[in-house]
Amino acid sequence: MWKVCYKKNKKFYALKEMSKAKIVEKKSQNSVKYERELLSKIRHPFIVNMIFCFQDRENLYLVMDLLTGGDLRYHVSRHKRFSEDQTKFFVACILLALDYLHTNNILHRDIKPENLVLDEKG
């Protein structure tokens, strides 16, 4: 992931770069295509959203929300324990995101602390 600044709104985004050669080598064309299509359809405050995508001869690029607050695994290892209010907040955010996905017939197959990322406000 790279951090990029969009000049028009002076906001920072994450840039996911995927090598076309590696995608073909790993026979991942369908999954990458599905990821892009899926990300273009969803929009939710508790999900990392794709802003836009583009490509050049060698790579595909996804411009996405930049979340700089670290992942939940990092925070669990650092704090060891959360307050009841913090725990309720995290659980509520996760449930709202999952409800949104399930309402749109999307199943997330890899929910784990490393994949739960926080913004700069937590």
pLDDT value, residue 3: 58
**This prediction's pTM:** 0.79
21 and 42 together in one domain = yes
Return the SS3 of 111.
Answer: coil
Give CA–CA dist 25/32, Å, rounded: 13
Residues of the chain with pLDDT under 70: 1-8
CATH number at residue 41: 3.30.200.20
66 neighbors 13 (Cβ within 8 angstroms): yes
Active site residue 56: no
* Per-residue pLDDT tens digits for 96-107: 999 999 999 998
Would you state the structure tokens that stand for residue 86, as one six-digit string? 């913090």
Catalytic residue among 65, 71, 85, 110: 110
Domain coverage including residue 26: 1-66
Give CA–CA dist 2/31, Å, rounded: 22
75 and 86 together in one domain = yes
Return the closest-CA partner of residue 101 out of 31, 46, 32, 37.
46
Task: Tell me how many domains the chain contains.
Answer: 2
61 and 74 together in one domain = no
